[in-house]
Structure 1
Amino acid sequence: MLQSKSSTARYTQAGLNLIQQALSIYDADLKLVVCNTRFQEMFSLPERLVTAGADFEDTILYLTEREEYGQVEDIQSFVKERVDVARAFEPHYIERTRPNGDVVSIEGAPLPQGGWVAVYTDITPIKRQEALLRARSETLSDQVLSHSEELASTNRELAATITALEQAKRELTEIEARTRLTTEMMPAHIAHLDPDGRYTYSNRRLSSVMPGRPNEIRGLHMREALGEEAFQKTEPYLLQALNGQASVFEFTDILSSRRIRVAFTPDIRDETITGVYILSMDITEEAQARAALSQTHKKELAAKMTSGLAHDFANLLTIIMGMQAKLSRMPLPNGAQELVAATQGAARRGGVLLDKIGKISGPRPLHPAPCDVPALLRDLEVLATPSLPDDVQLVISHSGLIDPIMLDAGSLQDSLLNLILNARDAIGDTRGSINITARSEKNTWLEIQITDTGGGFSEEALSRGLDPFFTTKGGEGSGLGLSMVYDLTKLSGGQVSLANTDHGAEVTIRLPLRPVPEVPSPTLVLLVEDSPEIRSSVRDMLMVHKHTVIEAETAAEALELASLSGIGMVLSDISLRGTETGIDLMDGLERNGMEAPSFLMTSLPPSDPLHQLAASRYPVLQKPFNSATLAAFLASKETK
C-alpha cells in the first residue's frame, strides 16, 4: 500500500531520532533540510535553528556567541570562514573538545545534488579510555601510546574517506550508465579507437548506420568491423586523426548503398594521442535531397543563361527563314533551289532545338505519386514496341518490386522511352535486342538498367554523354536526350551512369525507393472550390478513399461551415470567388482555432507570386492531379 509523502517523512524523522549520534543535512544553499533531536540536544539549539530552512550561518553564529568554539575575538570573520569552508563541500573528519570538556568527532560528506550530511559522535568515553590506558600502562612507552592514538585517529579519517570514495564510485557508475543509455539512443554510431585501430568503445549502433556490419565490435580492428572496401575509404582520414588532425568526410558504402558522413576527432591526453573518437551517420536521404536541390539550382541557372540566347536565336531564325522564302520565289540558277530548301530545313531544325531547350531549362515540377512499377513497365512496352524495327527485340523484366512506390511516373516513362529510342538508333539496321531490368537495391534505390547490342559508347561519350548538346549522332542529334534523362533523374534525387558491356551500351538509373505513405483515415472533408466542374471531380477523388465531403465556393461560406463539429480536413483552392483567397481562408481558420490539417491546391504556375506566398506557409498541391496523387499528397503532408 502506498504511503503519502508526509507519512513517509514522519517515519524517516522517527528513525533518525533513534540514532545515538547527532545528524544534520544542509542543501546547496546551506539551508537545513533535516536533523534529529540528538543534534538539538547535543548543542542546545533553539527551535528556530532545527527547523527546515534554518540558515547554517545563523547556527554557527549562535554557537560562536555561546563560546562553543572557545573565546573568539572577531566573531564575524570566524563565522564567515566556517561558512566558506562549508561551501567547499569537501569530505572532512575532525575531532573537537567542547567547552564542557566533552570531545566530539565530526564527519562530513558532500551530497551528489549539492549540500552535505554531517554526523556528530560523542567520543568522550573513548578519549577517557585512552587517557586511562596512558596512565595505567607505565610499561608502554610514550611513543607507542602516541602512535596508538594517531592510528585510531587515522583509522577514523580513513573510514570517512572510504565512505566518500564509495559514494563517488556509485555516482560515477550512475553517470556511466546514463551516458551509455543516451549514446545508444542516438541515431548515429559513436565509437573510440586505440592507436592500433581497435575499438575500445561502441554504442552498438554500427549496423543501423551501415547495415550488414556487427554491433558488438569492441576489440575488433576497424578493418574487420567495416570490411576492406569501406576501410580503404576511411583509412586516410584515420591516419590524419592519429597524427592530430580532425576531419569530417562522406563516402558511399558499396555494401549497403548508403551515403555515410564520418567525423574523426583525435583523443589527446597530456599532449599524447591515445586514440580517435568516431561519429558516423547515415545521410542517404539528405544526400538525395541535396542532389535534387543542386539540380534545381542548375536548371534555374541554365534557364537564365539560355533565355536571352534563345530569344536572339529565334529572331535570327525568323530572319533567315524569311529571306530564304524570298529567294525560293526568285528565278535561281540550277542547283540553287536545292540549297534554299536545305537552308530552310536547317532553320526548321533550329526551331525544334529551341523548343527542346525551353523544355529542359524551364521549370518542371515533379509530381510523385504511388506507382506500380511492373504496370508502368508493361505500359512502356506497349508504347515503345511500335517504334522498333521487326528485328529489334525489347525484353523487360523486374524483381523485388511488389509494393507501389512514390515516383513521378511520367518523368520516368519519358526517360525510358528516350533511352529505348537511343538504343534503337545505336543498333541501326542490324538484328539486336534492348533489355530493361528493374529491381530494388538494398531497399534504398529503384535501379533500372537499359542495355543494348549496339556499338557501345565511345570514350568521349562515356565522359561527356550526359552534358547538354553533346551527341554521338553527328548532324542528326540535338544532344539533349541523355541530358534530359539526367536532368529528370537528378531532380528526383537519383543517379545516372553510363558504361559499356561485352555486347553494347549500358545506362543505369537509380531513383530513391520511397514507400507510399499510409492513406489518411476516412474523415469529414471541407472542400472549397469555386469551379463546379473541378469541385465535382475532386469530390469524387476524395470519396474514392471513403471520405465524406461538404462543399463551399467562397472563403466566407467555408468559414461558416468550419464551425460544424467533426471536420477532420480542409482542402481549398488558392483562387476563390470574391475578394478573399484560399490563403485568407487558412489564416481565418487558424484564428478560429481550427486544428484539423489544412491544404491548398492551385493551377497557378510555381513562379506566380500568389503560389509562392501560399507555398511558404501551407502545403500546396499543383493541378492537375489524379486520385492517387491527391491521396499521396494528403498522407505525406498530414504525417509531417
Structure 2
Amino acid sequence: MKFDDKLTDVMTAAGLNLIAQALTIYDADLRLVLCNAPFQQMFDLPKALVTPGASFEETITHLARSGEYGDVADVKAFVAERVLQARAFEPHYMERTRANGRTISVEGSPLPQGGWVTVYTDISRTKQQEALLRARSDALSGQVLAHAEELSATNRELAAMNTALEEAKRQLILSEARTRLTTEMMPAHIAHVDGDARYTYSNRRLASVMPGRPEELIGKPISEVLGPQAYNCVAPALEQAFAGKLSVIEFTDEASARRIRGAFTPDTRGGVYILSMDVTEETQNRVALQQTHRREMAAQVISGLAHDFSNLLTIILGLQSRLGRLDDLPATAVPLIEGTLAAARRGGALLSTIADMTGARTLRPTATHIGRMLDDLTLLAGPTLPAGMTLDIANHMPDQAVLLDSGLVQDGLLNLILNARDACGGTGRITLEVKPVHETWIECTLRDTGPGFSKSALAHGFEPFFTTKGAEGSGLGLPMVYDMVKSAGGDLRLSNVDDGALVTMRLPYRPAVSATTGLVLLVEDADDLRALVRDMLIGLGHSVIEAASADEAMALLADLPDIALILSDIQLMGEATGLDLAKRLPPDAPPLVLMTSLPVDDTQFLAAQAIAPVLRKPFDIKDLIALIAPSELAAQ
C-alpha cells in the first residue's frame, strides 16, 4: 500500500498527539515546524502560536506575560536572553517548577540541519513521591519500596519514550533529506514564503533559473532576493496566492534576460508555495511557431488576391503597350502611358515583395561566425552610404560559431542600415553594436543620429505598408525584418534616444557544434539513410561507428571514450527516441546533433531545438558541413 505525503502527515500528527509529553520542533530561524496537542494543552497556548511558522520569540513573550515564569520585571530583556540562548542552542536537560506549582522536565536536542527538538514532561507526581520518601523514610519503609518501584517504572517509561522520540527525530531527518535531494534535482526553483513574504524553504535552484540571485534564501524577504523589477512583476500573483487563489504568470527578468514562469500556490497553514521555471527557450520556440502560423494564414489570404491582381496588371501592361504603339496619339498621351506602365511595373514588384514576405520560407540556421558576417555586411552597406555619413560596427561576441540563418540576418541588418541612412539624410553617424546578453540572446543595437522615430512609426512601424517615406517607400522593409526575427524566436523593438533612433534586435544565442574530425557515433534506424550519411561523414575525414537505437548508442558510448560527436535521428528503433538519448547523456558527453524530417511545428521538433542543433532532412553534404565543420565550408 502506498501512502501519499498528506496521509503520512496526518498519521504522524495523530501518533504524536497520543504521546503524554509535549513536543516541539523549531527550525534554525526560530520558527515552529511541528508540535503536538499536549504542548498547547500544557501551556494553554492560542492557536496562532501552535501553527507551523509561529515565532519562538512571540511564544516566549506570551508565556512570560501570562505568568509561566513567575514575576518577570523586564519582559523584553527576559525574552531577548531566551532568544539569544536559542540561537546558540546546546543539548540540555533541566527541571523547572512552574508558576502553577507543577514541575516539568525540559530536554532539548539540536538537529543536524539547524533547529532543535524539545520534550516537556510533567514530573510533579515524581517530585511529590521523592518529597514523601524524604519526610517519612523511617516510618514508611514499605511505602518507600512501593514508591521506589513505581518511580523505577516511570523512569523506564520515560526511557522508552525518549527512545521513540529519537527514532521519530531520525525518521524526520531522513524524510527531510530525501525531500531536499529530490527537489534539488529538479530543473526548477521550489520555495515557500511565510505570511511576511520571507523564505522559509528553498531547494537552492533560484540562481540556475534566475542568474545573479543568491542561493541561501532562508529568512530573506522575496522582494530583496528578486530585486525591484522582478518583484514588481510577481507581486500581484503573490498577493492573489496570499488571498487563497492559485496564480500562474510569465515575465521577463531584465537582470538575466530570461523568460520566467512562476506558479504561486496558497499554503492552507500559512504562506505560499512558489515554483519558478526558466521558459526562455520554450518562449523562443513558441514565438517562432506563432509567426509561422501567421505567415501561413497571410499567404492563404494574399495568394488568391495576388494572383488576380497580377492578371489585371498583365492586362494593363499589355493594353498600355499597344496604346503606345498607335501612330495617331497626341503628344500629351505619351507621358501618361509611360506613367501608367511605370505604376504597373511597380505594382508587379510590390507583388513579388509580398510573395517573398508571405510565401513558404524555412529558416536554415548554420554555424555562423559573427565577425565574418559583419565584415561582409560592411562591404555591402558601405557603397550605399553618402560621403558625409559613417558606419561604425562594434562586435563584442566571443570568437565562437553560433547557429543563425546568416543570409536572412544579414539582409535584415542591411535593411535597418538603409532605413537609418534615409532617416539621417546626407550626413550623420550609424552605429551597429552586436553583443551577447547572458548567453541567452544575441543583441544587435542600431543607432543613428537622425530625427528619431515619430509617434506613429513607434506604434505602427511593423505593420505592412506603413511608411513615412511617401511614394518612395513600400512599407514592407521593417515588417520583413520583424517577420524574420520572430520566425527565429527573437524580438525586435523600436525606440528613441537623446540623439536619434534606436532599433534593438534580439536573436536566440545557440552555440554551434565545434568542428571535429574524430570518431562520430551515427544513430539512424533506416539502413539506406545510415549508409548515405556514413559516406558523407567519411568523405569529411571522420571515422564512423553506427547504432540503430538509443540503447545501442548508450552502450557504445560507455565502451568507446574516444567518440567526438553524436549524430542521431529523432525517430529511432525501439521505444526510446533521439530526445530520450539526449536526456540520458552524461554532462561530459560529446556534442550532439539531431536529424529529423518532422515538420517545424511538431512538438518533437520544437523540443529538439531546445536540446541541440537540428539538421532537417533531406540535407546534402553542405548542410552537414554547415553544422559540424563550418571551416571546411568556408574553404570550399
Moved over 6 A (4+): 88-93, 141-149, 524-530, 538-541, 568-572, 597-602, 604-607
Change (3 A) 1:172 1:265: same
Alignment correspondent of 1:354: 351
Q: 1:487, 1:499 → 2: CA distance?
A: 18
Match of 1:162 in 2: 162
Q: Map 1:77-226; keep pairs closer than 5 Å.
A: 140=140, 153-226=153-226
**Aligned pair partner of 1:522 in 511, 518, 525:** 518
Q: Which residue of structure 2 lines up, in the alignment, with residue 423 of structure 1?
A: 420
Aligned to 2:257: 257
Decide whether the 8 Å contact of 1:434 with 1:450 is kept in 2. Answer: yes
The equivalent residue for 2:489 is: 493
Q: What SS does structure 1 have at the residue aligned with 2:271?
A: strand
Unpaired runs of at least 5, structure 1: 1-26, 29-87, 94-136, 551-565, 573-581, 608-614, 634-640
1:369 is aligned to 366
Q: Which residue of 1 aligns with 2:301?
A: 305
How big is the shift at 1:571?
A: 9.6
CA distance in 2, matches of 1:598, 1:426: 43
Cα RMSD of the aligned pairs, angstroms, is 4.4
CA 1:297–1:143 in 2, change beyond 3 Å: closer, same or farther?
A: farther
* Contact 1:450 1:508 survives alignment (8 Å): yes
Pick from 373, 377, 385: which aligns with 2:382?
A: 385
Q: 1:441 to 1:159 in 2, by over 3 A?
A: same
**Counterpart contact for 2:392–2:432, Cα < 8 Å:** yes
Inter-partner Cα distance in structure 2 for 1:220 and 1:583: 45
Larger Rg, first or second structure (1 or 2): 1
Query: What is the distance in 2 between the residues matched to 1:340 and 1:403?
Result: 56
Matches within 5 A, 1:517-596: 517-519=513-515, 522-523=518-519, 542=537, 545-548=540-543
Shift of 1:383: 1.4
Q: Does the Cα contact within 8 Å between 1:91 and 1:164 map onto a contact in 2? A: no
Q: Describe the superposition over 1:469-527 as per-residue Cα deviations: whole angstroms up to 9, x where unpaired.
A: 22221122221111111111111111111112223222111111111224466348999
User: Cα 1:410–1:183, aligned 2, differ >3 Å: closer, same or farther?
Assistant: same
Segments of structure 2 that go 5 or more residues without pairing to the other structure are 3-13, 20-136, 546-559, 582-591, 602-608, 631-636
**1:435 shift after superposition:** 1.4
Deviation at 1:313, TM superposition (A): 1.2
Query: Among residues 498, 503, 517, which one is paired with 2:499 in the alignment?
Result: 503
Distance 2:600 2:507 in 1: 24
From the superposition, tell whether residues 571 and 435 of structure 1 become closer, same or farther in structure 2 (CA, over 3 Å).
Answer: closer
Q: Does 1:239 pair with 2:236? A: no
Distance 1:171 1:521, change over 3 A: farther
Aligned residue number for residue 563 of structure 1: none
Distance 2:372 2:146 in 1: 99
Which of 309, 321, 328 lines up with 2:324 in the alignment?
A: 328
Return the alpha-carbon distance in structure 1 between the equivalents of residues 191 and 543 of structure 2: 53
Change over 3 Å in CA distance of 1:571–1:283 after alignment to 2: closer
Identity within the alignment, %? 52
Structure 1 residues 183 and 570 mapped into 2: Cα distance closer, same or farther (>3 Å)? closer
- In 1, Cα distance between equivalents of 2:260 and 2:570: 40
Superposition deviation, residue 329 in structure 1: 2.8
- For 1:395, the aligned partner's letter is D
Question: Displacement, 1:570?
Answer: 12
| TM-score between both structures, scaled by the size of structure 2 | 0.63
Q: Which structure 2 residues correspond to residues 45-64 of structure 1 after superposition, within 5 A?
A: none
1:154 shift after superposition = 4.8
CA offsets per residue over residues 522-541 of structure 1, 9 Å max, x none?
Answer: 348999999xxxx9xx9997
Amino acid at match of 2:240: Q
* TM-fit CA distance, 1:235: 1.1
Distance 1:238 1:437 in 2: 38
Cα deviation code 1:136-162 (max 9, x no counterpart): x99659998877666555554444333
Residue 455 of structure 2 aligns with which residue?
459
The 1:192–1:371 alpha-carbon spacing in structure 2 relative to 1, beyond 3 Å, is same
- Which residue of 1 is the match for residue 478 of structure 2? 482
Secondary structure of the corresponding residue to residue 213 of structure 2: coil
Distance verdict in 2 for CA 1:623–1:319, change over 3 Å: farther
SS at match of 1:348: helix
CA distance in 2, matches of 1:410, 1:374: 14
Q: Cα distance 1:410–1:222, how it changes in 2: closer, same or farther (>3 A)?
A: same
Q: Which residue identity does 2:174 align to in structure 1? A: E
Question: Which letter maps to 2:296?
Answer: E
